Amino acid sequence: MESGGASELCYPQVNASCRTPTQPPGQAMLVYVLLSSISIVTVALNLLVIFSISYFRQLHTPTNLLLLSLAVSDLLVGLLLMPVEIVYIEACWFLGDVACTLYYVADYVITSASVANMVLISVDRYVAICQPLSYPSRITRRRVQICVGLCWLCSVVYRLALLHDHLEEPGRSISCLGECVVVIANVAGWVDLVFTFVLPIVVILALYLRVFGVAVAQARVMRSHVGAGQARRVKKSEMKAARTLGLVVAVFLICFCPYYSPTMAGEDTALDAASAAFEIWLAHFNSCLNPIIYALFYPWFRKSVKLIATLQILKAGSRDAKIL
pLDDT confidence tier of residue 151, bands split at 50, 70 and 90: very high
Q: Does residue 165 surpass a pLDDT of 70?
A: yes
* Residues 276 and 270 sit within 8 Å (Cβ to Cβ): yes
What proportion of the chain, given as a percentage, has pLDDT over 90? 21
Structural domain count of the chain: 1
Q: Find the CATH number of the domain harbouring 32.
A: 1.20.1070.10
Give the residue from 221, 219, 241, 214 showing the smallest Cα distance to 232: 219
Domain limits at 189?
6-320
1 within a domain of the structure (yes/no): no
> Residue 170: pLDDT band by 50, 70, 90 thresholds?
confident
- For helices 199-223 and 228-264, what crossing angle results, to 10°? 170
Task: Give the pLDDT of residue 1.
Answer: 41
* pLDDT over 60 at 273, yes or no: no
Per-residue CA distances from 301 to 89, 118, 190, 323 (Å): 35, 18, 38, 8
Average pLDDT of every residue of the chain? 80
Amino acid at 134: S
φ/ψ of residue 177, rounded to 5? -70, 135
For 136, the 3-state DSSP assignment is helix
Element (H, E) at 104: helix 97-130
- pLDDT bin (cut points 50, 70, 90) of residue 244 is low
Strand partners, 17: 177
Q: Which secondary-structure segment (H or E) carries 270?
A: strand 269-272
**DSSP 8-state code for residue 78:** I
With b for 16 or more beta-carbon neighbours within 10 A and e for fewer, the 257-284 pattern comes to eebbebbeeeeebebbbbebbebbbebb
Examine residue 83 and state whether it is found in any structural domain, yes or no: yes
Per-residue pLDDT for 171 more than 50?
Answer: yes
Residues 6+ apart with CB under 8 A from 173: 166, 181, 182, 183, 270
3-state secondary structure of 183: strand
- Taken in order 135, 129, 52, 50, the sign of the CA dihedral is positive
- Average pLDDT, integer, range 38-43: 93
CA angle 259, 155, 59 (to 5 degrees): 100
CA 191/CA 189 separation, integer angstroms: 5
- Share above pLDDT 70 across residues of the chain, in percent, rounded to a whole number: 81
Average pLDDT over residues 255-280: 62
Of 2-16, 33-47, 96-110, 303-317, least confident by mean pLDDT is 2-16
Work out the pLDDT band at 45, boundaries 50, 70, 90. Answer: very high
pLDDT-wise least confident of 46-50, 90-94, 122-126, 266-270: 266-270
Is 236 contained in some domain?
A: yes
- At residue 205, what is the residue type? L
* Cβ neighbours for 97, distance < 8 A, ≥ 6 positions apart: 170, 171, 174
- In this model, does residue 279 exceed pLDDT 90? no
Residue 302 has pLDDT above 80, yes or no: yes
* DSSP-derived secondary structure letter, 81: I
Residue 5 has pLDDT above 50, yes or no: no
What band does 265 get if pLDDT is binned at 50, 70 and 90? low
Give the least confident one: 80-94, 199-213, 216-230: 216-230
Cβ-contact 159, 108 below 8 angstroms? yes
Instruction: Fill in the DSSP letter of residue 90.
Output: T
The whole-number pLDDT of residue 55 equals 93
pLDDT at residue 275 tops 50: no
